[in-house]
Amino acid sequence: MNHKIQEYKENPQKVGEIIATLLRCEIYKHFDEFKTLDEYRNLFTWDADYQINYVFDPGYYIEGCVNYDSFEELKEEWETGITPDAFDIEWEQDLEYCGEVSRTNVTITISNLQLKDNNKKDVATGEE
């Protein structure tokens, strides 16, 4: 049996944490991890919540996060930069003139982790 599938059988939460870490590595441009992430993508399906945490500094400190519906959207925003939601903060000026936004980190939470259908028989039979 594939060791990743075996690990999933023993501790699915740990596998979810590994996948979340690998996704963050892709965002942060750790290219050596891409092959491993592709292996997990071939074995499992999952749902995920994505967000970029930021600090908005218009002369004083404001923290927050922006949620995303897809990994691609999160990756694009991480590369291009983010703007806090102007509706969450009351400003007298246009938001872009109020201060600088600094990204602090990416948070990815994996849920509903499951083996892909073609791998479920391996678990049932114990074979690769």
Q: Which of 112, 117, 124 is nearest to 43 (CA)?
A: 117
**How far, in Å, CA of 80 to CA of 57, rounded?**
18
What's the pLDDT tens digit per position in 10-32? 999 999 999 999 999 888 886 66
Name which residue leads in pLDDT, 64 or 50: 50
Residue 125 amino acid letter:
T
What's the pLDDT tens digit per position in 100-128? 677 888 999 999 999 998 777 655 555 54
Name which residue leads in pLDDT, 71 or 29: 71
Name which residue leads in pLDDT, 6 or 104: 6
What residues does 86 pair with on adjacent strands?
none
